[in-house]
Amino acid sequence: MPASASSASRLKRSRRLVGSNLRSLRWPLVVVAAVVLADQGTKLWAVSSLTEHTPVRVLGNFLMFSLVYNQGGAMGTRLGPSGYYMIMALIVLPVVLYYLYRNRQFPAISLPLAFIAAGAIGNLIDRIRLGQVIDFIDVDFFDISLGSFYLERWWTFNVADACISCSIVFLIAHMFIQRRDLDSTSCARGGPEPPADSTH
């Protein structure tokens, strides 16, 4: 094959590969953009419409909007100053994006990772811009009692937090289901062989 024909063939394959990658990343990118916009938009609304630490009842005591500025992390954690969480987000975000790209052909993995990445970006924008995160969604889920720890009302959160938490739960459940299916398949393949025919 002439060198020019070989180069043209490689160029076509390269273009097809790039096109396939872009198509696989289309929906994850849409998710990232949509979640970041929704997160930042709702936070801007909360700051302009709510008064700090003054709850507004939406569905009685079950769902309220309460503006809070959070320098710590999710679920009320305080492992360090706000800068600590910003540095951790800058470390974790590239890892999430890397695995998103690695699993771009598998929507059950790439889409939850896109939600996690978007949530991390949304909260990171807050920390860079304000030095703290804007929370405003206040929901009264079930109480938690573990020894001396008792939680009567859940922590106030935002759209980014919800996307991260729900996506992590989904990925964990997905991994367990996949592992169970693999174990079931292995057991089925490793089952007892049918008895050999004794008739000759």
Cβ–Cβ under 8 Å, residues 167 and 112: yes
59, two tokens: 């569905």
Active-site entry in 39, 161, 181, 197: 161
Answer for the pair 158, 35: CB distance below 8 angstroms, yes or no.
no
* Contact assessment for residue 171 and residue 107, using Cβ atoms and an 8 Å cutoff: no
Alpha-carbon distance 199 to 32, whole Å? 66
Q: Is 140 a catalytic residue?
A: no
With beta carbons less than 8 A apart as the criterion, state whether 84 and 125 touch: no
The rounded distance, in Å, linking the Cα atoms of 65 and 51 is 10
Report the side by side order of strands in the sheet with 56-59.
56-59, 63-70, 133-139
Count Cβ neighbours within 10 Å for each residue of 157-183 and write b for 16 or more, e otherwise: bbbbbbbbbebeebbeeeeeeeeeeee
Amino acid identity, residue 153? R
Active-site option among 135, 143, 181, 183: 135
Q: Which residues are catalytic?
A: 135, 161
